[in-house]
Amino acid sequence: MGAEFVQFSLTPILIGVLAAISCALPGNFLILRRQALVGDAISHVVLPGIVVAFLLTGVVATVPMLLGAGGAAVVAVILIEAVRRLGRIEPGAAMGVVFTTMFAGGVLLLEQSDTSRVHLDVEHALMGNLESLIWFRADGWGSLLDPVALADLPEELGRIAVVCLMMVVLTCVFWRWLKIATFDEGFARSLGIPAAAVGFGLVVAAAVAAVAAFDAVGSIIVIAMFICPPAAARLMTNRLGVQVAWSVVFATLSAVLGYVLAGYGPLWLGFGNAVSAAGMIATVSGVILGLACMFGPHRSRIGQPRGAGA
């Protein structure tokens, strides 16, 4: 656990943890607002946006990717509305059709384009490239104090660290607005709180987290990070603050355990090769959710179902 760990495992684990936390924080509120599907939708829609941004600029950089993802989200909203009105079908079906179609379009676009120079292909879109985000210059823990080695840290780490910090700050700053607008939107509006803007801001924040985490865990598995840690956390407590804290713990645990199990688990079981870290992280988060369902202290739903207002 020395030089080799720092060089090959430290940065992927850190990136995995930061990506998981970035997604879990907005995920808490998406779940409580019954908008878990929005996380799913975003994780699909960002792919064609990222691919188009790459085709136009030729580089994989944060700002073009975010703009591309944002543009794709706008296109998605327009298409959903069009399908809903022209096809006269319910919104859920319209969403499902548009998101899967756009994702499939993104996959086809990716296959047809020359992306061999960069880490942007179908496999990475699905599963990320966590294992390759290694720190070449590192030769031990001492490298953490060596400016030359630090300058060589994978740029993805800085990117996801900034986004993670942003999520933490936004969650803290807008805590009361998020809480009241999620629990009782009508009351929030009566106080003059811009509840619609809070809801929109939450979706935008989730999209930013999804784009940032795309590098590390791939667009599909982002959905697990949005939903599993917060859903498991909800079963541990009846306090919102405690729930968010648990979701961070579960996100961290999923990332660390998932990465270690993917790297070493198969070897322990006598198989030859490591498995996908992103896949294992998502699997671990699912297992944690399963355990929380079975053993969590607040797993029974006592409240009445949401009724329809007059």
Partner 1 sequence: MTATAPIRGEAPALVARDGQAPRPDSVPIDAPLALRGVTVSYGDRPAVFSVDATFPSRAMAAIVGPNGAGKSTLLKAALGVIPRLSGEVHVYGQPIDQARARIAYVPQRASVDWDFPTTALDVVRMGLYRRVGLFGRMSGAMTDRARACLDRVGMADFGNRQIGQLSGGQQQRVFLARALAQDADLYLLDEPFAGVDAATERAMIDVLHGLKASGKAVVAVHHDLATVRDYFDHVFLINVRRIAEGPVASTFTAANLQATYGGRLAATHLDTLDLATAAP
Shortest distance in whole angstroms from residue 162 CB to partner 1: 23
Residues 24-63 that bind partner 1 (CB under 8 A): 32, 34
Residue pair 79/24 in contact (Cβ under 8 Å)? The answer is no
Q: How many Cβ atoms from other residues are within 10 Å of residue 198's Cβ?
A: 19
| Interaction of residue 166 with partner 1, rule CB under 8 A | no
**Residue 204 is which amino acid?**
V
Choose the stretch contacting partner 1; rule: CB under 8 A; options: 56-64, 116-124, 205-213, 296-304. Answer: 296-304
Choose the stretch contacting partner 1; rule: CB under 8 A; options: 51-59, 84-92, 170-178, 288-296. Answer: 170-178
Closer residue to partner 1 (CB): 36 or 274? 36
Choosing from 82, 184, 295, 297, the residue that interacts with partner 1 (CB under 8 A) is 184
Residue pair 65/118 in contact (Cβ under 8 Å)? The answer is no
| Interaction of residue 299 with partner 1, rule CB under 8 A | no
For tokens 């985490």, name the residue.
213
Q: How many Cβ atoms from other residues are within 10 Å of residue 29's Cβ?
A: 24
Shortest distance in whole angstroms from residue 307 CB to partner 1: 3
| Interaction of residue 88 with partner 1, rule CB under 8 A | no
The dihedral through the CA atoms of 233, 236, 240, 243 has a sign that is negative
Closer residue to partner 1 (CB): 111 or 184? 184
Residues 210, 5: Cα–Cα separation, whole Å: 27
Residues 204, 91: Cα–Cα separation, whole Å: 20
Length of the chain: 310
- Which tokens hold the place of 293? 């369902």
Q: Between 224 and 263, how does the x/- string for binding to partner 1 read (CB under 8 A)?
A: ----------x--xxxx-xx--------------------
| Interaction of residue 183 with partner 1, rule CB under 8 A | yes
Closer residue to partner 1 (CB): 187 or 264? 187
Choosing from 67, 109, 193, 260, the residue that interacts with partner 1 (CB under 8 A) is 193
Choosing from 189, 201, 245, 260, the residue that interacts with partner 1 (CB under 8 A) is 189
Choosing from 36, 162, 180, 260, the residue that interacts with partner 1 (CB under 8 A) is 180
Choose the stretch contacting partner 1; rule: CB under 8 A; options: 101-109, 110-118, 168-176, 256-264. Answer: 168-176
Shortest distance in whole angstroms from residue 230 CB to partner 1: 11
| Interaction of residue 86 with partner 1, rule CB under 8 A | no
Closer residue to partner 1 (CB): 34 or 267? 34
Number of residues that bind partner 1 (CB under 8 A): 36
Residues in contact with partner 1 by the rule CB under 8 A: 32, 34, 173-177, 179-180, 182-184, 186-187, 189-193, 234, 237-240, 242-243, 298, 301-304, 306-310
